[in-house]
Structure 1
Amino acid sequence: MPFDPGSFGVVALAAYQPDWELFRTQLRSIQNQTHRNFRCLISADGGFDDIRDFVERELGGDQRFHVIGFEQRLGFYGNFERVLQHVPADAAWVALSDQDDCWYPSKLETLLPYLSNVSLVAAQARVVRKPDNVVVAESTQRKNVALAALLAQNQVTGSLCIFKRDLLDVGLPFPRLNTISQVHDHWLAVCAEAQGGALVIDEVVQDYVQHGGNVLGEVEGKKGLAKSLEHVKALSRKYRGSTSPLAMLRTANDLSFGWRRIMSDTLRQRMSGNSPVMNNAIAAFGTGHSWSSTLRVLISGLRSGEVALPCFVEFVAGTPVEIFTKNRRR
């Protein structure tokens, strides 16, 4: 059945201790969309009463907005999974939303027609730093890449994408790996590219707000090598309780090979009728991956700019542990 751009869908927003001024701006930007046939589900990861009362007060009882609350804190990854699990069956599409950005009025209207041809469409954002309103970048400059390169490095920011609801049949439940590298948008983009295609367009559809409370951010994504080392060190301390060389190597492996292996293996289990493109991508990063396939994807991606140097270095740092664990699996 052809996709109807005017169809009903859901904006899935994950909220946790929001900056109330930024949250107000984001809610109003969603409320003022030119495409109005939607319901906004807001999952409160704790603090349900405060978030519910704020939404009701600010939006004047707009019945399209509904807060679902849970006292169990799951973190941003688990909270996005939870809100997506509540998307009703009659929704034709889903748009992901952060709590602190600002959508341009025609965002939904601009993106929805593309779902006639693909499973997921993503756009660009202007990067703005708060509270001083400095424009960090005029565009996020995401790009279209093949599945293997997308597995290596994500090109889809969750808050910039819309996807068909049936993508959740493959995407839920989310795969699990205890590290910050497990991110909902990377996983959903990989599922979409494998299922019906993912498309990134050049149009800027919102402001992507950077501030001190960001879990992940655009500025963080452009860190240099020295900051990459500090990033791995901090994560090693958090997730492994140590900054020893071995702990940091294991953390680097989780950030690189580990997360891609989890995604590849889960994709292989859930997708029927594997295509050559999907098989080649899984051969590069799945369990028992071919080193020749892995190196081909990473080196060609580095040369083309589809894999950034800090990401490539994380794979290099994760290689000793990957070699050791692969030998033990044999």
Structure 2
Amino acid sequence: MNDSTTPEGQAIRVSVCLAAYKGSRYIEEQIDSILRDLGPNDELVVVDDASPDDTAAVVKRITDPRIRFVASSVNKGYVRTFEQAVGLSRGEFIMLSDQDDVWIPGRVELMLTALEDHKVVAGNFDVLGGGPRPWIPRLRASDSTRHLANLFAILIGYRAYYGCAMGIRRDALSYFVPIPGYVHESHDLWLAICGNVAQSIRHLDDSIILRRLHDENQTPAGWRSLSRIVKARFMILRLVFEAVRRVRGADRALAA
């Protein structure tokens, strides 16, 4: 066994990276849905962001050798917690997961098929228990190659990407991590920007998770103030330039 293999010596295929914080109410149901969709050579990396509740105890009660649990001693926020989980991952394909959703069976295989020839994949969600989705349109596979249009739509807030329905190949991680230090939210938009700048992102028409909408969701459900909207637009522009720098650097390194 080494850092990228199972105890049986098999290469780890998929790493699911889950950031947890005060998730004891829903996290067990989420983990169960993930494990049902994973294979024997996959792993689930759970990083708890110093939760004050019994999230850690709930995860530790789940006896599955594919779970790797890490408890942070200091709260860092969900972006840095995802970054830590990705840094701990060992699989060839990395998928992000929130703590309070439910995976739809077949998600892993749909994403793996897309990642065979794309560096980033993004899918859609349905609302757990039914109910209306946010007003932003669903992703469409037909828009996958409209990279400039996708970037512009991200900038104006018309194209939503949700990290809980996204994945990336390990050979593209140098685009995504380290996540720029000024990013304190919207790590999912940063990943989508990387995929579009690299011209290697696949949208799935399918819904691949059932998203639980409640008052503690990290993604805001309502309208933001004008000042926050303007600040976010400037951050996105900054991220586009950073993605261009990283993608070009990776291309030069590959050609050298």
Q: TM-score, normalised by structure 2?
A: 0.80
> Contact 1:19/1:100 (CA < 8 Å) preserved in 2?
no
Matching residue of 1:81? 83
The count of aligned residue pairs is: 232
Structure-to-structure mapping, 1:74-153, within 5 angstroms: 74-88=76-90, 91-128=91-128, 133-137=129-133, 141-143=138-140, 144=143, 145-147=146-148, 148-152=151-155, 153=157
Larger Rg: 1
Structure 2 distance, partners of 1:47, 1:212, is 17
Structure-to-structure mapping, 1:116-265, within 5 angstroms: 116-128=116-128, 133-137=129-133, 141-143=138-140, 144=143, 145-147=146-148, 148-152=151-155, 153=157, 154-177=159-182, 182-217=185-220, 220=221, 223=222, 228=223, 231-232=224-225, 248=227, 251-256=228-233, 258-265=234-241
Structure 1 distance, partners of 2:21, 2:137, is 24
Q: Tell me which of the two structures has the higher relative contact order, counting C-alpha pairs closer than 8 angstroms and 6 or more residues apart.
A: 2
> Contact 1:51/1:67 (CA < 8 Å) preserved in 2?
no
Structure 2, unpaired ranges of 5+: 1-10, 252-256
Query: Does structure 1 residue 54 correspond to structure 2 residue 58?
Result: yes
**Which string of whole-angstrom CA distances, capped at 9 and with x for unpartnered residues, describes residues 10-38 of structure 1?**
00000001142x21110100111154431
Structure 1 distance, partners of 2:202, 2:232, is 25
**How far has the Cα of 1:56 moved from its partner?**
2.7
**How far has the Cα of 1:196 moved from its partner?**
4.9
- Relative to structure 1, the CA distance from residue 273 to residue 77 in structure 2 (aligned partners, 3 Å threshold; closer, same or farther) is closer
Counterpart amino acid of residue 82 in structure 1: Q
Structure 1 distance, partners of 2:120, 2:186, is 16
- Relative to structure 1, the CA distance from residue 274 to residue 32 in structure 2 (aligned partners, 3 Å threshold; closer, same or farther) is closer
Structure 1 distance, partners of 2:167, 2:244, is 24
> Contact 1:34/1:109 (CA < 8 Å) preserved in 2?
no
Please give the root-mean-square deviation of Cα atoms over the aligned residues, in Å. 2.7
Structure 2 distance, partners of 1:31, 1:48, is 25
Identical-residue share of aligned pairs (%): 22
Structure 1 distance, partners of 2:106, 2:250, is 37
Matching residue of 1:45? 49
Normalized per residue, the structure richer in helix is 1
- Relative to structure 1, the CA distance from residue 137 to residue 262 in structure 2 (aligned partners, 3 Å threshold; closer, same or farther) is closer
**Secondary structure of 1:204's partner?**
strand
